[in-house]
Homo-oligomer: A and B are copies of this chain.
Amino acid sequence: MAEAAGVSVSTVSHVVNNTGARIGQDARERVRRAIEDLGYRPNAMAKNLVKGASRFLGLVADAIASTPFAGQIIHGAQDEAWQHGYVLLVANTEGNQGAEASAISMMLEHKVRGILYSTWYHRAIDLPAGLAEADTVLVNCYSTGHPVPAVVPDESTGGRDATQMLVDQGHQRIAFLNTRTPSPARDGRLAGYRQALQSAGLPFDPSLVAEVQPDQEGGYAAVDHILATRATGVFCHNDRVAMGLYDGLRDRDLHVPTDVSVVGFDNQEVIAAHLHPTLSTVALPHYELGRRGVRVLLGLDVIERPGPLAVACPCVPRNSITRPSRV
């Protein structure tokens, strides 16, 4: 800035960062005024250069866009990073290998403190080359090869809690409309479903679980099957399936929850909070995933046990569940 303030650079540095250095009132004042007048801003890059470390955190995502709530990961990461004085460098790679590689090396060149690598749906990944060069944590995904710290949703506890909401109301025949796509979500939620049944002393009846396309169409198409099972409650793999199920049920003049109780998964606001009746569901903790991701990156949280850190999926009870009219 300016020794237009009539002092040396080091003096300026001291007052700007107010280090412990004892600086006289007059000098201090002169600097303040010069800052004011010149509209001076310290140059963060020069600062980082000399400090040898930046305040950047990289976030590379395979799809900021594809799914409505994926943005929540960024949001959570950003909030937590910010709180610790870090700034997020965001790169979207749309799954493109080349983009991914150049995003990562750009981050490395900016000497980021670390990199968060996130996917829009929970899955196993092959660790992109380059990530090894930096502190990395995986968000919403995990590496089967190298043991890289990872943060993922706790699918099975989520599945258990979803089922439990039905059990709590006295349902005994509970169907599960799972996805047909192989994934941690499919396996985890199924495990949770079985767990809830078991702890309730209910038998596991394979005919009660069906695999469908994980969207409205899948739920809609499954109505007849559900009706045939004479289930009184249905746990849907996600809110979209539940929405399709609502539609199908209504087409047969059946009513949620009086005829059939329904519970979803994901807590996709636009849907769950506004269906008729509003949908009880279990939330995918995207915001929390992002937040925890930076916490483990910064060493604020420690992953105790081997394997990914499982983040709880909170229940969001609404109005799609009631006691069964028959048993």
Contact = CB atoms under 8 A, between A and B. Distances in A.
Contact of A250 (B64, B92, B250): B250
A69 interface: yes
Contact of A92 (B45, B78, B106): B78
B44 A111 contact: yes
A274 interface: yes
A148 B96 CA distance: 35
A147 interface: no
| Copy count, this protein chain | 2
A319 interface: no
Interface in A265-299: 268-271, 274-276, 287
A49 B41 contact: no
B78 A133 contact: no
A283 to B, nearest CB: 13
A125 interface: no
Interface in A236-261: 240, 243-244, 247, 250
Given A44-B109, A45-B45, A216-B276, 19 more contacts: A39-B133, A41-B108, A41-B133, A43-B109, A43-B111, A44-B106, A44-B111, A64-B71, A65-B72, A65-B75, A68-B269, A71-B71, A82-B91, A82-B99, A82-B103, A87-B91, A243-B274, A244-B274, A247-B276
Interface of A: 39, 41-46, 48-49, 54, 64-65, 68-72, 74-75, 78-79, 82, 87-92, 99, 103, 105-106, 108-111, 133, 215-217, 220, 240, 243-244, 247, 250, 268-271, 274-276, 287
27 contacts: A39-B133, A42-B109, A44-B106, A45-B48, A45-B54, A45-B111, A64-B71, A64-B72, A64-B74, A65-B75, A68-B71, A71-B74, A78-B90, A78-B92, A82-B91, A82-B99, A82-B103, A87-B110, A88-B89, A89-B89, A90-B90, A215-B274, A240-B270, A243-B274, A250-B250, A268-B270, A270-B271
